Every structure is written in C-alpha cells, then in structure tokens.
Amino acid sequence: MEGTRNKRGLLTAVVVGVAGVLLLVHRWVPGLPGNLMSLVETFLPWLGLAVPVGLVVAAVRRSLLAALVCLVVGAVWVGVFRGPLGSPDGPEKYDLTVVQHNVSDENTSPSRVARILLGPDPDVIALQELTPESLPAYRIVLDPTHPFRATVGTVGLWSKHPLTDIARVDLKPAAVGAGWDRGLRAVVRSPHGDVTTYVAHLPSVRVRASQGYATGWRDESAARLGRALAADRSAAVLVLGDLNGTVDDRGLAPVLSEVRGNRDDFAFSWPTSLPLARIDHVLARGAAEVGATWTLSDTGSDHLPVAARVRR
C-alpha cells in the first residue's frame, strides 16, 4: 500500500513539475505536431490549476514529494505572473484612454455596444467586424464625441483628436480572396504628441481533427503586421486589435517583437461566457507605453471590450 501511495505521489509530482517547466521555458520548447505548443501558450496561465489539484492529491495520498513540487511550481507561477498579482492600487499617470473591441458582425444592438464603449471616456476607439449595416448606428452614437473617423473594410477607428495619414494595411493571407480588408493605420494627433495607431483583425484559429491547432492564416497575417511595424519609424506606435492569440503565443512573435503590452492585469477578453484568454490587445512601443488594462461589460459580442491607459 505504501509503495502504491508513493508511486501515485510521484506521478502527481511529475505532472505538476511538467506544468512548472512549461511556465518557465515554453518559448524554447520545439513546435509539436498539430501546433500543440501554440495552443498551450494560449492558455498558459491556466497551467497554474495543476497546483491546487496537485495539493489535493498530495494531501489525500499523503505525499510530501508531491506537496513540495506543488509549492515550488506555485512559486514559479507567481513569479511568471507577478504583475497581475502585484498591480499597484494607487492612481496611475496616463495621457490617453483607448478601447479595443471586436463587436461581432452578428451583433444586433450596435447602438448599445457603442454606448458601453463610451463608458471609460476613451480618446480612441478601435473596432473590428464592422458591417455596412451596423456602421451607421455606430456613427450616430460615436461621432458626436469622436468626430474623427477612419474605416477600412471591417475595421474602424474613432478618435477625439484629428486623424491624419490614414491608410490600408495589407494583412491578407495569400490564400484568402480579394475584398478581405482588416488592417488600417492612422496618426492620432493627440495633445500629448502624435501616436501612429494600427487597427488589426487577424484571422481566427480553429482546433481541427486533421490539422490540430490550425493557425496558418493567423500566423501569416501576423507576419505581415510585424513587417509593417518593423518598417514604421514613428516615435510612438499603438496596435489595437483582435489578434486571435495571447502575448505568450509564439504565432504572434513577429508582432510582439515590435510592440509590447502590459501584463499587470489578466483582462481575459474571450469568450464572453467564460473568459479564458486575452486575445484582444492594446500594444505599444517607443514613446507610447501601455498602463492599466481592463475589460468592459458584455456587449453581446463573443469578445469583451478591452480598455487601457496609455502614456505618451
């Protein structure tokens, strides 16, 4: 009986230990069949659930080894995600408030969506999945307070401050047909200085039996966005978008090598019914820096809106 108990404790220790190793070195783990590592990285914070489950098993089995491994991995998790646990409670200095939201092209209440997005009094609002039918409703609500607007295809940008140099950004994967426009660039002439702002909507990802975690189009689109950012010499750059991946997902490396976000808050944005990952982002570089990040209330989309403070 004692031998069996020790073996079970060893198995628990190994499983929890593997979760801890992945937390630390996931970026250096080679790609696995079916793009498995990209899927693991999408839900990386949830590997921490191995710790409480392991502690329960360790208590039941009376395994000191398993308990010690759980405590070590728990410390690793806190170290990796110390920002979300240690965010300051005091006021934060910021220059701009921005909101990013995939509104869903099936949303039946665009006016209600727009009113929710105005809640934090944002300077800039970026939207994805706009449709010709919904655009007039968004304009009616947003234009009075955000009179400067740019739209390209299904993405749009509303601003309190003037917009210049508005241009389409080509994010279309090679295999996608014509008429697929999901990227724009504009310069926001804020009182604190110009901010070159990108609005992007990368392709969705799917789990398929034949392919595993299918991210090919998303990754190709991310590479195109990364090249556009690398070629941009603006002093302050913002990227607002539904990137269909998290900041830990290796598929977004071309983008995340150019801009960075803020991990001081988890701000999980998807899916609305049970938010498990932040795939909607506010990222920045240069003279722009992302501060506190949080989600707004449910708008009827399958994504929650993400708001952030930005220093310029």
For 81-117, the pLDDT digits (tens) are 876 655 544 457 899 999 999 999 999 999 999 999 9
C-alpha R_g of the chain:
21
Q: Check whether residue 144 and residue 199 sit in a common domain.
A: yes
- CA–CA dist 8, 63 (Å, integer): 8
Question: Is the residue at 89 inside a domain?
Answer: no
Note the pLDDT of residue 2: 53
Q: Domain residues for 17?
A: 2-80
User: Span 165-180, mean pLDDT?
Assistant: 95
Residue 35 forms part of a structural domain: yes
Residue at 235 is within a domain: yes
Residue 102 lies in a domain: yes
Residue 233 and residue 175 share a domain: yes
Note the pTM of the prediction, 2 decimals. 0.92
Write out pLDDT tens, residues 45-71.
Answer: 999 999 999 999 999 999 999 999 999
pLDDT tier for residue 210 given thresholds of 50, 70 and 90: confident
Cα separation, 5 vs 60, whole angstroms: 10
Q: How confident is the model at residue 33 (pLDDT cuts 50, 70, 90)?
A: confident
- Tally of domains within the chain: 2
- Are 119 and 74 members of one domain? no
Same domain, 71 and 212: no
Does residue 73 share a domain with residue 100? no
74 and 122 co-located in one domain? no
Whether 74 and 182 share a structural domain? no
- 125 and 191 assigned to the same domain: yes
Model confidence at 209: pLDDT above 80: no
> Residue 263's pLDDT band (boundaries 50, 70, 90)?
confident
Q: What is the CATH number of the domain that holds 101?
A: 3.60.10.10
- The residue among 49, 80, 111 that closes a domain is 80
Looking at the structure, tell me whether residues 129 and 216 fall in a common domain.
Answer: yes
Same domain, 115 and 195: yes
Report the half-sphere exposure of 263 (CA within 13 A, side-chain side): 14
Whether residue 111 lies inside any domain: the answer is yes
**Average pLDDT, rounded, for the chain:** 93
* Phi, psi (deg, nearest 5) at residue 58: -60, -40
DSSP H helices, the chain, are 2-25, 36-42, 50-61, 64-80, 82-85, 110-117, 135-142, 216-231, 253-256
Same domain, 114 and 192: yes
Nearest Cα residue to 16 out of 48, 60, 38: 48
Picking from 48, 80, 112, the residue at the C-terminal end of a domain is 80
From edge to edge, which strands make up the β-sheet containing 236-242?
163-168, 183-190, 193-201, 236-242, 280-286
| Position 306 in a domain | yes
112 with 70, same domain: the answer is no
d(CA 241, CA 200): 5
Single residue among 50, 80, 110 that ends a domain in this structure: 80
> Which pLDDT band, with edges at 50, 70 and 90, does 3 fall under?
low
Query: CA 251 to CA 216: how far, in whole Å?
Result: 9
- Does some domain include residue 179? yes
Does 87 map to a domain? no
Burial of residue 265, with CB atoms counted within 10 A of its CB: 0-12 exposed, 13-18 middle, 19 or more buried: middle
